[in-house]
């Protein structure tokens, strides 16, 4: 499916981060967003899992979390208020989280079409690989649904033309923690690929197959980048960027 590169195409970098704490992943996203805004890196997609965490989006309400913070903490679940769209959701092991760091300038359709492209990549994968009938919700029913249950949450943010946050697809996710919240504030059930198919899902294979579909949907060829290389490059470029801001070209550095 992944096509040959022509002169008008750019290279999309995709990185498997493994299991990453929410704060650590957020910090990396913010670094990459700043670098992408300055055209110091290419479009990048992060594929990962989080340890158990509940996040509250810009429309999130604490009353949509049914357990006390101390109870959640005892079970190893943290709570974070974040700048993405949406209400409350849960992330945990077995859930594929997708964070696209993509510059929207020169992309027709803006954020809405960009989200639809990502959603269609997942919908086609679920339908073709597993024979399911997923669909996108409308209005408040954002994300991807199968029958009356949500299998993928969507919550993106755009900062100076660059996307961050993203998608959360339930593959092998333990769905019990979703009973501790009102997912997305909708009072609707949540499902997973494992629950629907009663099959063991290969997490690595799912990442590989979806990477191809994301790249094709975005019209880009892609290359894998290792986590260590991505983190080291981001840190190095950010140091350079901060140095340039502190000592802009043409400024007089001489003392009196």
Neighbours of 219 (CB within 10 A): 13
Catalytic residue flag (residue 15): no
SS3 per-residue string spanning 76-109:
CCEEEECCCCCCEEEECCCEEEEEEECECCCCCC
Q: What is the phi/psi pair of residue 63, to 5°?
A: -70, -10
Q: Residue 3 in 3-state DSSP?
A: coil
CA angle, residues 5, 6, 8, in degrees to nearest 5 = 120
Selected catalytic residue, list 102, 167, 184, 201:
184
Query: Closest by alpha carbon to 149, among 131, 137, 139, 158?
Result: 137
CA distances from residue 189 to 93, 101, 152, 184, 186 in whole angstroms, order as listed: 19, 29, 12, 10, 9
What is the Cα–Cα distance from 159 to 87, expressed in whole angstroms?
19
Tokens for 164, please give them. 């961050």
Q: Which residues are catalytic?
A: 184
């Amino acid at each position: 499916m992944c096509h040959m590169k022509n002169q008008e195409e750019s290279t999309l970098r995709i990185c498997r981060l493994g299991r990453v704490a929410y704060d650590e992943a957020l910090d990396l996203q913010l670094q990459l967003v700043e670098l992408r805004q300055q055209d110091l890196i290419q479009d990048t997609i992060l594929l990962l899992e989080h340890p158990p965490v509940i996040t509250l989006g810009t429309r999130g309400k604490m009353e949509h979390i049914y357990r006390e913070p101390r109870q959640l903490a005892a079970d190893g679940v943290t709570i974070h208020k974040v700048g993405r769209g949406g209400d409350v959701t849960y992330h945990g092991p077995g859930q594929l989280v997708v964070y696209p760091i993509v510059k929207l300038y020169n992309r027709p359709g803006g954020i809405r079409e960009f989200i639809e492209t990502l959603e269609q990549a997942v919908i086609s994968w679920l339908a073709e690989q597993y024979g399911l009938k997923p669909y996108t919700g409308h209005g408040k029913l954002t994300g991807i649904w199968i029958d009356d249950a949500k299998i993928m949450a969507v919550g993106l943010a755009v900062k100076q033309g660059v996307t961050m946050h993203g998608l959360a697809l339930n593959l092998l996710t333990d769905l019990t923690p979703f009973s501790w919240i009102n997912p997305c504030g909708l009072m609707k059930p949540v499902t997973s690929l494992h629950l629907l198919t009663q099959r063991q899902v290969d997490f690595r294979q799912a990442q590989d197959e979806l990477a191809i579909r994301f790249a094709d949907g975005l019209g880009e060829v892609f290359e894998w980048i290792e986590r260590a290389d991505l983190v080291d490059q981001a840190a190095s470029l950010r140091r350079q960027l901060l140095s340039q801001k502190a000592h802009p070209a043409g400024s007089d550095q001489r003392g009196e």
